Structure 1
Amino acid sequence: MTTTATSHRTRPPAQPDSLRAKRLPWYAAPAIAVAALALSAVLVYGTSIGGPVLVIVLGAILYLVGLFAAANAVEGRRSARNRTWSALIHSAFVLAVLPLVSVVWTLVSKGADRLDVNFFQTSMNNIGARDANGGAYHAIVGTLEQVGIATLITVPLGVLCAIYIVEYGRGKFAFAIRFFVDVMTGIPSIVSGLFVLAFWVLIVSPWFNDGRPSFSGFAAALALSVLMLPTIVRSTEEMLRLVPAPLREGAYALGVPKWKTILRVVLPTALPGIVTGVMLAIARAAGETAPVLLVAGGGAAINTNPFENNQSSLSLFVYQQAGDASKYAPARAWTAALTLVALVLILTIAAKLLARRNRLSR
């Protein structure tokens, strides 16, 4: 009796069915993908109904069908659905990344032709249609000054507005602010340029220019501020709302005033998200052409004074060179576009590193 009980207790437990279920080998999915592309190529090119794009699309459909059929036959219907949806998710990721990779590759391949010292040290002043030289130094200076001034104007105003909406705003006034911020989010850039043209250039600037309207980089910065403000307000508002309420309540319980809680607890916690929103606004402002064309006028000469005379920007430089009849203009346009993307990337990385360092130092 004792021996029987002991052997019964020491008998190994039965393995669950999931551990003994059949599974497709690791090479099944790649093999199905290759077979699907081969069959798709035969069908498309054999019937002459399309090209490489149709081969890829039809191959993806055949791959999903083949993967579902193979998994259903070996692993069961539930596992087949899981594999199919996983493949769809991966395909969506690839489709989302492909345009980005294509844009970066096009910019690098076509913009590398004029990546030389002359491009970054000269302007287009006195450059003719048959001159292969000429650069975007004046446009780089204009972009940095205009976006920098717009950032100095917009970031404090946008962050303070978001703080008021989240921490203090109650009633109809806060609702009105939130409503107008949402409306401003959809304003076309040409409208902001027309607003600054009608207000600053035609009404205010004559007071400082002997009664004559004057284009300037500062006017372009004002127009860019109108575009940046709603992005900064909305992103900062959402980041402040994500700060856990117990952090605020803990500070209040220790007797910390509300303004100091916001300054020392809420803002540092939401800082990475706020920086991301600011960089998104800066990226949009740096790529705008219509406001700069309307209120800054553009120009071929170097102008380091944003408060007087015409001033260009990289986005406006790309627009002008893309429409120029010179055979050397497209190369300048591509290099300027690559410079603009690189500039925004460098600013974004620097801002992220600065925000991370400040957070770790606390």
Structure 2
Amino acid sequence: MSNALVADKRPSTLRGARLPKWSPWAIAAGSIAVACGIGAAAGLTSHVQWGLIAAILFLLGTYAIAARVEGRRQAKDRIATSLVWVAFLLAVIPLVSLVWTTVSRGVKVLDVYFLTHSMGVVPDSQPGGGIYHAILGSLEQVGLATVIGAPIGVLTAIYLVEYGRGRLAQAVTFFVDVMTGIPSIVAGLFILSLMLIFKMEPFGFAGSLALAILMMPVVVRSTEEMLKLVPNELREASLALGVPKWRTILKVVLPTSIGGITTGIMLSIARIAGETAPVLLLVFGNRFINANPFEGAQQSLPLYIYQQYANSAGANAAYDRAWAASLTLIAFVMILNLLARGIARWKAPR
């Protein structure tokens, strides 16, 4: 009896050897050290090359050590996890580098004066001027595009999910898929052809039309997915009470999915806010403040950035203004994304 109790208290030998929790960090540190040595010995001047060598060494080292200690099966699991982390770092590092570069260079001239004044008569080669006219133009153009594109996109998605049957629905789905992948310059050329037919001059609303074309397929796809997530039981319960289908959609389906729909619209706004090609073709740019999008050329932030950078040869002032406008545009898109996440959490079904 005593021998059986002693045998029960012995540690189980069913679990094989395991690497300590700190082993990935140690392998990563060793890989970075070896990669730095290889890069220095080979005369590699690019830190990107050093990073790629470190990533390859990290994957190889993880597999070799895990296979020797834990076996090949566990090593395959660790190499898959390591690939995910390497892919994550490859995506995050350029993003962090982009944001850091934009912030460090954009803060040089970004102040209240820069945000509240236009370029006016200030030459690109001279300091001064601002982006007020570009901010105003972007807000008006993107706002008008949202007023046009968001309702059409939502109504199209409602038709596809709630009513769409047969060849018409298939045709609408096909054209939405095609529009999702068209370059922005194509939308600009389409509106430009109409302007040439009617002999119209560049104006802000023309850019809004092109942006609306780019926005609609994104809204359709995001709204369609949100409507599909609404349980059919809610629709059936409403219809069983004798509520018409249109009222069921208005009072049951849309309120249930309003958070996701709003998030999709906000993300589509962030997507079109940085478009340059349609604005360059249709809005043409303006150094002065033009608050009327239906008459005369206007400015926008992406176009302002392009023009300032294009004219920055030998002019540090234009170069600094381009980076400051880029920082403002990134902040605008970031605020929209944060609003989208906040609305999604606020309106999430409970």
2:214 — aligned with what? 227
Deviations 1:111-138 (A, max 9, x none): 1111111111111110024431000100
Amino acid at match of 1:214: E
How far did residue 286 of structure 1 move?
1.1
Structure 2: tracts of 5 or more residues without a match: none
User: Is residue 2:66 matched to residue 1:71?
Assistant: yes
2:148 — aligned with what? 153
How far did residue 355 of structure 1 move?
5.0
Equivalence map 1:16-165=2 (5 Å) = 16-18=12-14, 20-48=15-43, 51-165=46-160
Separation (CA, whole Å) in 1 of partners of 2:20 and 2:302: 52
Equivalence map 1:270-349=2 (5 Å) = 270-324=257-311, 325=313, 326-349=315-338
How far did residue 300 of structure 1 move?
0.3
Deviations 1:188-224 (A, max 9, x none): 222222222222x3455x6xxxxxx232211111111
1:38/1:217 CA distance change after superposition, 3 Å: same
Which structure has the greater CA radius of gyration?
Answer: 1
CA RMSD of aligned residues (A): 2.5
* Identity across matched positions, percent: 52
Using the size of structure 1 for normalisation, the TM-score is: 0.88
Which range is displaced more, 47-56 or 75-84? 47-56
1:65/1:192 CA distance change after superposition, 3 Å: closer
How far did residue 226 of structure 1 move?
1.1
Q: How many residues are aligned here?
A: 348
Amino acid at match of 2:330: V
1:72/1:351 CA distance change after superposition, 3 Å: closer
Separation (CA, whole Å) in 2 of partners of 1:38 and 1:11: 47
Separation (CA, whole Å) in 1 of partners of 2:181 and 2:67: 48
Structure 1 contact 123–137 (Cα < 8 Å) conserved? yes
Structure 1: tracts of 5 or more residues without a match: 207-212
Amino acid at match of 1:347: L
Structure 1 contact 111–335 (Cα < 8 Å) conserved? yes
1:214 — aligned with what? 201
Amino acid at match of 1:337: S
Which range is displaced more, 188-197 or 110-119? 188-197
How far did residue 99 of structure 1 move?
1.7
1:53/1:243 CA distance change after superposition, 3 Å: same
Separation (CA, whole Å) in 1 of partners of 2:348 and 2:44: 58
Separation (CA, whole Å) in 1 of partners of 2:331 and 2:101: 14
1:209 — aligned with what? none
Separation (CA, whole Å) in 2 of partners of 1:245 and 1:13: 56
SS at 2:18 equivalent: coil
How far did residue 339 of structure 1 move?
0.7
Structure 2 contact 283–299 (Cα < 8 Å) conserved? yes
How far did residue 288 of structure 1 move?
1.2
Which range is displaced more, 118-127 or 37-46? 37-46
SS at 2:107 equivalent: helix
Deviations 1:82-106 (A, max 9, x none): 2222111111111111121111111
How far did residue 14 of structure 1 move?
7.3
Deviations 1:53-79 (A, max 9, x none): 333222222222222222222222222
1:128/1:159 CA distance change after superposition, 3 Å: same
How far did residue 240 of structure 1 move?
1.5
Separation (CA, whole Å) in 2 of partners of 1:257 and 1:149: 33
1:357/1:59 CA distance change after superposition, 3 Å: closer
1:323/1:130 CA distance change after superposition, 3 Å: closer
Separation (CA, whole Å) in 2 of partners of 1:168 and 1:10: 72
